[in-house]
């Protein structure tokens, strides 16, 4: 089954206002940001003047770097600042900040996956057990917070120590505790867990296209994803389970994930796969990655 996910409309602290001309205009809480978006190849619905007038911060790429840049901010723009997500029984709080990579510490298109996690974990907990959840390439912890608030024992793995610190702050702001933090290369961690015979009821993957581990380990998505998924299959509980993977790399379709999952995990129950997307005010749907998820 192929489906498309749209960010929940009831999220009052986030809104995609407009998109186009390789940019997106978003509201995070009290502030509106303009930043690059390579998949927004259509025209903007609002004028350039409206964008300039609305935005509290505009990201300008460094001509010497395809990834880095600087933010041009208006007086009164706070950095960092905070937003909340309250929906479906979840109540989470996130610190946002303007980074040199254009990111702000939150991927709003993941909100539907947070609700999915909440529902699956609460269902698994119905028999009195506490599900074990592993979040790989976990960044600032949106999925980790949702899983922990739903009642899971959560292991959060990311190779970047400052990002782990950011995720710990989000845990504190959300009034949660007892997440297991691992500053670790995801591939090495998973292989070690397999050797130890450990199992998890839920596994979440958000791998980047490229990355480096804490000891310089190289991650290249198309070269290593196949083997990582094989190790994850060995880690996943065989009775009570769920699995979520998201890919953000241009050129990766959900068909690639469908082929990988089918070959490695077999005929999985309750599969859902397709595109992550967010609609702007003009109802243009901005694709922000592909996903595959299944559960017992």
Domain layout of the chain by residue ranges: 106-295
Is the per-residue pLDDT at 67 higher than 80? no
Read off the pLDDT of each residue in 191-209 and give the average, rounded to a whole number.
96
CA distances from 123 to 65, 89, 175, 201 (A): 46, 13, 23, 12
The overall average pLDDT reported for the chain is 94
- Note the pLDDT of residue 29: 98
Does 3.40.50.150 match the CATH number of domain 106-295? yes
Is the per-residue pLDDT at 62 higher than 90? no
Is the per-residue pLDDT at 66 higher than 70? yes
Read off the pLDDT of each residue in 193-213 and give the average, rounded to a whole number.
93
Whether residue 183 contacts residue 159, with contact meaning beta carbons closer than 8 Å, is answered with yes
Residue 242 phi, psi dihedral angles, 5° rounding: -150, 160
Whether residue 156 contacts residue 139, with contact meaning beta carbons closer than 8 Å, is answered with no
Is the per-residue pLDDT at 251 higher than 80? no
The Cβ of residue 39 has, within 10 Å, a number of other Cβ atoms equal to 14
Read off the pLDDT of each residue in 35-49 and give the average, rounded to a whole number.
97
Task: Give CA 87 to chain center in angstroms.
Answer: 17
Task: Give CA 187 to chain center in angstroms.
Answer: 18
The rounded distance, in Å, linking the Cα atoms of 89 and 151 is 12
Structure tokens at 51: 């964008």
- Note the pLDDT of residue 64: 77
- Note the pLDDT of residue 2: 61
Q: What digits encode the pLDDT tens for the residues 121-166?
A: 999 999 888 999 999 999 999 999 999 999 999 999 999 999 999 9
């Amino acid at each position: 089954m192929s489906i498309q996910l749209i960010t929940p409309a009831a999220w009052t602290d986030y809104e995609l206002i407009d998109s186009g001309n390789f940019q997106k205009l978003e509201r995070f809480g009290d502030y509106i940001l303009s930043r690059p978006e390579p998949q927004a190849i259509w025209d903007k619905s609002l004028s350039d003047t409206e964008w300039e007038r609305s935005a509290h911060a505009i990201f300008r790429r460094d001509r010497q770097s395809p990834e880095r840049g600087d933010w041009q901010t208006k007086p009164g723009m706070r950095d960092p600042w905070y937003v909340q997500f309250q929906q479906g029984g979840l109540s989470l709080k996130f610190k946002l900040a303007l980074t040199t990579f254009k990111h702000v510490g939150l991927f709003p298109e993941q909100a539907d996956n947070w609700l999915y996690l909440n529902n699956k974990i609460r269902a698994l907990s119905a028999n009195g057990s506490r599900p074990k959840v592993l979040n790989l390439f976990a960044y600032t912890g949106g999925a980790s917070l949702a899983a922990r608030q739903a009642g899971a024992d959560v292991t959060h793995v990311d190779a970047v120590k400052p990002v782990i610190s950011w995720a710990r702050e989000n845990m504190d702001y959300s009034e949660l505790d007892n997440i297991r933090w691992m500053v670790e290369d995801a591939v090495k961690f998973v292989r070690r867990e397999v050797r130890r015979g450990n199992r998890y009821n839920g596994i979440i993957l958000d791998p980047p296209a490229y990355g480096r581990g804490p000891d310089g380990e190289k991650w290249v998505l198309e070269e290593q994803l196949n083997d990582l998924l094989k190790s994850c299959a060995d880690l996943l509980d065989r009775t009570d389970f769920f699995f979520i993977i998201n890919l953000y790399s241009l050129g990766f379709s959900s068909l690639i994930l469908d082929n990988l999952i089918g070959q490695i995990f077999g005929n999985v129950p309750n599969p859902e796969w397709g595109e992550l997307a967010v609609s702007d005010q003009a109802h243009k749907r901005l694709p922000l990655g592909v996903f595959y998820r299944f559960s017992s």
